[in-house]
């Protein structure tokens, strides 16, 4: 299995189109967001990970997402994957991230021991 993309976003919707096909509508793709109030604060941004199982793939794996700040782990999520060969799917990952200051958290997404797809999320001062 392979990670096609990983993004922080507000919402994802699946809609059918003619034929055996579907469309993913992603809204509010973001790499930063204003804090809901002054720090310290906890936020729970939504991360979507798009995964493809190529033809001939065994269909089973584990998605691991490790959230780090300044090289230190602050959260971790592991989910089992089962995707039919030749198909795509997605997983939503939601971690509660505590911030003592306005900074960046890195989400390192990988399947098994494979290469990481890295996605930053920066907490900005409230508006």
Q: Say yes or no to pLDDT of 113 above 90.
A: no
Of residues 21 and 73, more confidently modeled:
73
109: nearest Cα among 84, 91, 83: 91
3-state secondary structure of 70: coil
Question: Could you tell me the CATH number of the domain that includes residue 96?
Answer: 2.60.40.10
**pLDDT tens per residue across span 7-33:** 999 999 999 888 878 889 999 999 999
Produce one character per residue of 8-32: b if its CB has 16 or more CB atoms within 10 Å, e if not.
beeebeeeeeeeeeeeeeeeeeeee
At 22 the pLDDT is 83
Number of separate domains in the chain: 1
Distance CA 71, CA 100 (A): 16
pTM for the whole thing? 0.91
Query: What range defines the domain where residue 81 resides?
Result: 2-124
Tell the burial category of 121 from Cβ atoms under 10 Å away from its Cβ (0-12, 13-18, 19+): buried
């Amino acid at each position: 299995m392979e990670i096609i993309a990983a993004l922080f976003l507000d919402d994802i919707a699946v809609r059918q189109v003619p034929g055996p096909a579907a469309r993913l509508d992603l809204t509010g793709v973001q790499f930063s967001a204003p804090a809901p109030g002054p720090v310290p604060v906890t936020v729970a941004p939504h991360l979507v990970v798009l995964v493809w199982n190529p033809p001939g793939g065994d269909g089973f794996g584990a998605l691991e997402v490790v959230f780090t700040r300044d090289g230190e782990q602050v959260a971790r999520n592991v989910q089992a994957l089962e995707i039919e060969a030749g198909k795509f799917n997605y997983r939503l990952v939601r971690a509660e991230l505590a911030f003592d200051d306005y900074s960046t958290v890195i989400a390192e997404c990988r399947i098994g021991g494979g290469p990481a797809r890295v996605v930053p999320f920066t907490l900005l001062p409230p508006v």
